[in-house]
Amino acid sequence: MIPLPTGLRARLVITFTLVAVTASLLVATIGFELAKTALVTREENTSLDLVIRELGSITFPIGKLAPGEAAPTIKELDRVAAALSGPGRSVIVEYGTMVSTEGPMTLSDVPNELYGRAKQSVVTQRKVIRNQLWLIVGAEVYRDVDGASQATGLRAFVFFPMQGDESQLNTLRATLAQAGAAIVLIALVVALLSARQVLLPVRRLSAAAQALGQGRLDTRLPVHGQDELAELTARFNDAAAALELSVAELRSLEAMSRRFVADVSHELRTPLTAMTAVADMLSEEAGRLPEAPAEAVRLVLREIERLRELVEHLIEISRFDAGTATLNVEPVNVADAINDCLEVRGWSDQVEVKASQGLTVNLDPRRFDVIVANLVGNALKHGQRPVMVSARGTENGLEVKVRDHGKGIPREALPHVFDRFFKAGAGRARSQGSGLGLAIARANVHLHGGTISVRPQNPGTLFTVWLPHS
């Protein structure tokens, strides 16, 4: 099956060409038929005039003879046949039992229908005889006798050759075919040029739309003319200007929001430092306080720790948003880096590590520590033991997996676990975290050019990190 063209240019060219072909065929057909009719009519009229004139010039007595008139002889019939004869013609003159012929035709070549109609009037018929087209004219001579027209019994059949007319028609047909082919070729060229002219603004609009999609919001198109395409171009320019203004406003608001978060986070650091110092003093005294004040002190300590974690996370996120986060890559022993991360946070006895001691990868050790800490901390907070961390080298990078054996994350929440401030619900007690840990882990993975994914297990949840070789 031949596929149909889907391009607008191809459809325009095909439609234009089909219209031109149809019009050419109609004009050629109508012109040929008119020429054919005119040629045949002219030939018939000329032939009829010749036959009528020659038969009307007969002077010897025929038909009902008057007293003293002698019947015509074969020689007189031969003179009539000779008068009707001409180049390429064949003539048959019949009178009673006498038949005079000029040319190869005989009475057997005269169609029966024509022979019968010739008794009443002058008639014509076209017929192919011996692979040749002839115009046959048949007529019977009438004479006025006592004011009445009477048949004389003398009939003449003249065969006019039509090879010349056929040749003219063939020449005309070939000429019309050549003219039609030239018209179609011209129509095709005009269609291509017209399609190009029509589709040029469409291509410009397509390229401009692509440029807008790539972020070049200052893209505009010149407006030419006052047709529909010019109006469409003007509407595109208006839409692009409105989009550029809207995006500029959104970027300004986003920048203000980022600066606000960064400023607030930095401003919170100073009072938070003082609160942490006071909290350390209260922590030392909590054991000597009564139960109720001691519980209040422990609550304050937990909230200060949460606030400190939130501020640190906000500062880290603001660096990514501002585009100031950079990598300081160096060779790192993966097993030592994971064990150091767990030991500093007091998680060594809670997490099982599977990593080869000889595995060394080029990466940013501080950001790798943040990735592992956020994933393991998430597993310890919201999952159940055992929590396992495994690392192995692949052909093109490093693969790190962190798995817990808890209830798992609801399937409807899996697509959103890396979103900022997302909490899966009470089933995983996400309210005790900041909601930024996994978002920061993903940002650090992407900064390395890697990927991070999450899959449900039975039981628990598996996070997989892949970092490419630097």
Q: Are 24 and 17 in contact (CB under 8 A)?
A: no
CA angle at residue 123 from 121 to 125, to 5 degrees?
Answer: 165
Domains and CATH numbers, the chain: 8-169 (3.30.450), 229-321 (1.10.287.130), 326-468 (3.30.565.10)
d(C-alpha 256, C-alpha 434), whole Å: 22
Look at residue 426 in the predicted model and tell me its pLDDT.
46
d(C-alpha 13, C-alpha 6), whole Å: 12
Please state, as a whole number, how many other Cβ atoms lie within 10 Å of the Cβ of residue 138: 25
Q: CB-based burial of residue 61 (10 Å sphere; 0-12 exposed, 13-18 middle, 19+ buried)?
A: middle
d(C-alpha 424, C-alpha 408), whole Å: 10
Look at residue 402 in the predicted model and tell me its pLDDT.
92
- DSSP states of 236-294: HHHHHHHHHHHHHHHHHHHHHHHHHHHHHHHHHHHHHHHHHHHHHHHHHHHTTS-HHHH
Q: Are 276 and 306 in contact (CB under 8 A)?
A: no
Residue with tokens 């607030």: 264
d(C-alpha 108, C-alpha 102), whole Å: 14
Q: CB-based burial of residue 35 (10 Å sphere; 0-12 exposed, 13-18 middle, 19+ buried)?
A: middle
Q: What is the pLDDT along the chain (470 residues), one digit of tens a residue?
A: 455 555 666 777 777 778 878 888 888 888 888 888 888 888 888 888 988 888 888 888 887 777 777 888 899 899 989 999 988 899 999 988 899 999 889 888 999 988 888 888 889 998 998 888 889 999 988 887 777 778 888 899 999 998 887 888 888 888 888 888 888 888 888 878 877 777 777 778 888 888 888 888 888 888 877 777 788 888 888 888 888 888 888 777 766 766 766 666 666 666 767 777 777 777 776 667 777 777 777 777 777 777 777 777 776 777 777 677 788 889 999 899 999 999 988 898 899 999 888 889 899 998 899 899 889 988 888 878 888 999 988 888 899 999 998 888 888 888 888 887 777 654 444 445 667 888 888 888 898 899 999 998 888 899 999 999 76
Phi, psi of 447 (to 5 degrees): -65, -30
Residue 424 DSSP one-character state: -
Q: How far separated are the first and last CA of the chain, in Å rounded?
A: 51
Q: Which residues contact 176 (CB under 8 A, 6 or more apart)?
A: 28, 31, 32
Look at residue 428 in the predicted model and tell me its pLDDT.
44
Please state, as a whole number, how many other Cβ atoms lie within 10 Å of the Cβ of residue 426: 8
| 220: amino acid identity, one letter | R
Residue 336: closest CA among 288, 408, 391: 391
- DSSP states of 326-352: ----EEEEHHHHHHHHHHHTT-GGGEE
Please state, as a whole number, how many other Cβ atoms lie within 10 Å of the Cβ of residue 263: 11
Strand-pairing partners, residue 331, are 362
**β-pair type (387-394, 351-355):** parallel
